[in-house]
Amino acid sequence: MVIRAAMVLAVWLALVTFPQWSSAWESSRFAAGIIRQVLIFAIFASSLNLLVGYTGLPSLGHAAFFGGGAYAAAIAAQRLGTDQLFVSLGAGVIGAALLALLIGFLAVRALGIFFLMLTLALAQMVFAIAFQATDLTGGSNGFSGVHRPVLFGLDLGAASDLYVLVCAIALSVGLLLWRVTTSTYGRALVGVRENERRMRAIGYDTRTLKLSAFVLAGALAGVAGALSSYEFRFVSPNDVALGTSVTGFVMVLIGGGGTLIGPIVGAAVVLLIERVLPSQLPAQTVLGIVFIAFVVFARQGIVGAARRLARA
């Protein structure tokens, strides 16, 4: 256990200092940007994984909380006239959590496949609101001019500073999720996934368990959303669109649901396909085919398959 923690720490330290030790490489800045985005989406995918992989709730509307958190962060910074990190990030988390409470309240009442349909439909409504509330969100043009945050006196506007921020938050979220999934609460979520009926029979209030997981996942997606608003200095309805929800789902599945590293791997793979793949190859088509292949042949994702190979 200590060895694993040390390994994770070592990897993280290498990652955090990447811009420094790779500065001689001409693609260093580009790569650092990719890493930032991978980490942001890793947080998003990990939050979805808590729902899909651990609790067994297949949500196709998770972008509502990602984009919702992004909008909340940007709008709060603008309306309150401050770029302080804890204000915009806090607004992102709280906004996303409240939205998740609202949507989750209705959605967790739905069984199985209908949960999926509901989350999809309800998230689309958030999309439509983002699209239409032009005064608040900028409508179809999106919310531009989002400022990079300021941590008390420290301006985090430079790409390298943002890089460190993203790494730090990613580590914190990772630690949080690790703590949650290994706790009795996390075990209870797995229990709900495996046999909800039995969980109720042994005394668990499964509906509240599911709702709490939904809100927690939503809040963490909001963190990713806020970070995304800093990264791109822009929030658009696309951030709450079905496409983003699907992308998150694809990341979780390809990486490996129900594991901690799975979503990170998945985020890296998907972003590499989307951003680094030469522009001749249609990214969404490739993604779709890869996704189908995984569903059919490697349902447990890369991490799941790797673990099975390691055991054999």
Partner 1 sequence: MIDIRELRRDFGGIHALAGVDLRIEPGERRAVIGPNGAGKTTLFNVLTGELRPNGGSIRLDGAALTGLTTWQRARLGLVRMYQRNELFDPLSALENVLLSIGSLGGAYRPFRSPLPAERIEAEEVLARVGLADRRSVTARTLSHGERRQLELALALARQPVVLLLDEPTAGMSPAETERITALIAGLERRLTVLIVEHDMDVVFRLADRITVMHEGRAIAEGTPNEIRADRRVHDVYLGKAVEA
Partner 2 sequence: MTPQDALQQALNGLSFGALLFILAAGLSLIFGMMDVVNLAHGAFYMLGAYVALSVTRATGSFWAALVIAPLALAVLGLLVEPLLLRRLRGRHLDQVLITIGLSLVIADFIRLRDDWGWGATVRSLPFPAGLDRSISIAGSDYPTYRLFVIAFSAGLALLLYVLHRRSRIGALVRAGVGDAEMLSALGVDTDRLFTVTFAIGAGLAGLAGVVAAPVFGLQPGMDVDALIYSLIVVVVGGLGSLSGSIAGSAVVGPADTFGKVLFPQFALALIFAIMALVLLFRPTGLLGRVRIGR
Choose, by CB under 8 A, the member of 195, 289, 295, 308 that binds partner 1.
Answer: 195
CB 87 within 8 A of CB 230: no
Strand pairing partners for 143? 235
Site track 204-233 with partner 1 (rule: CB under 8 A), x = hit: xxx--x--x---x-----------------
64 binds, among partner 1, partner 2, none (CB under 5 to 8 A by kind): none
- Residue 5 as a binder of partner 1 (CB under 8 A): the answer is no
Tokens 């997606």 sit at which residue?
221
Asked whether the beta carbons of 210 and 45 are under 8 A apart, the reply is: no
Stretch that binds partner 1, among 30-38, 42-50, 106-114, 187-195 (CB under 8 A): 187-195
Taking the complex as a whole, how short is the minimal distance between the CB of residue 279 and partner 2, in angstroms?
11
Report the C-alpha gap between 139 and 128 in whole angstroms. 9
Is residue 187 a contact point for partner 1 (CB under 8 A)? yes
Interaction between residue 116 and partner 1 (CB under 8 A):
no
Kindly state the smallest distance separating residue 119's Cβ from partner 1, in Å: 22
Of the CA atoms within 13 Å of residue 278, those in its CB half-sphere come to 2
Contact criterion met (CB below 8 Å) for 163 and 35: yes
Alpha-carbon span 16 to 222, nearest angstrom: 22
Q: Contact between 259 and partner 1 (CB under 8 A)?
A: no
The residue among 44, 68, 47, 60 whose CA lies nearest residue 127 is 68
Distances in whole angstroms, Cα of residue 206 to Cα of each of 6, 46, 51, 103, 294? 36, 22, 13, 17, 30
Q: CB under 5 to 8 A by kind: which of partner 1, partner 2, none does 114 bind?
A: partner 2
Report the partner that residue 203 touches, choosing among partner 1, partner 2, none (CB closer than 5 to 8 A by kind): partner 1
Closer CB to partner 2, 50 or 130, in the complex: 130
Q: Which of 70, 55, 28, 38 is nearest to 207 (CA)?
A: 55
Indicate whether 203 belongs to the interface with partner 1 (CB under 8 A).
Answer: yes
* 200 part of the interface to partner 1, by CB under 8 A: yes
- Consecutive H or E run containing 234: strand 234-235
Contact assessment for residue 246 and residue 288, using Cβ atoms and an 8 Å cutoff: no
- Written as six digits, the tokens of 285 are 């088509």
Choices 72-80, 113-121, 149-157, 203-211 (CB under 8 A): range interacting with partner 1: 203-211
Q: What are phi and psi of 155, to 5 degrees?
A: -85, 125
3-state DSSP assignment of residue 144? strand
Cα(197)–Cα(138) distance, rounded to whole angstroms?
Answer: 45
CA distances from 16 to 19, 38, 162, 166, 231 (A): 8, 13, 11, 9, 16
Whose Cβ is closer to partner 2: residue 20's or residue 285's? 285
Q: Is 27 in the site for partner 1 (CB under 8 A)?
A: no
- Cβ-based nearer residue to partner 2, 113 or 310: 113
- Closest approach of partner 2 to the CB of residue 79, in Å: 20
Residues forming contacts to partner 2 in the complex (CB under 8 A) are 58, 60, 106, 109-114, 116-118, 120-122, 124-125, 128-129, 132, 241-243, 246, 249-250, 253, 282-285, 287-289, 291-292, 295-296, 299
Nearer to partner 1 among residue 104 and residue 138 (C-beta): 104
- Residue 289 binding result from partner 1, partner 2, none, given CB thresholds of 5 to 8 Å by partner type: partner 2
Q: How far is the CB of 131 from partner 2 (least distance, A)?
A: 10
Point out which residues bind partner 1 (CB under 8 A). Answer: 179-180, 182-188, 190-191, 194-195, 197-206, 209, 212, 216
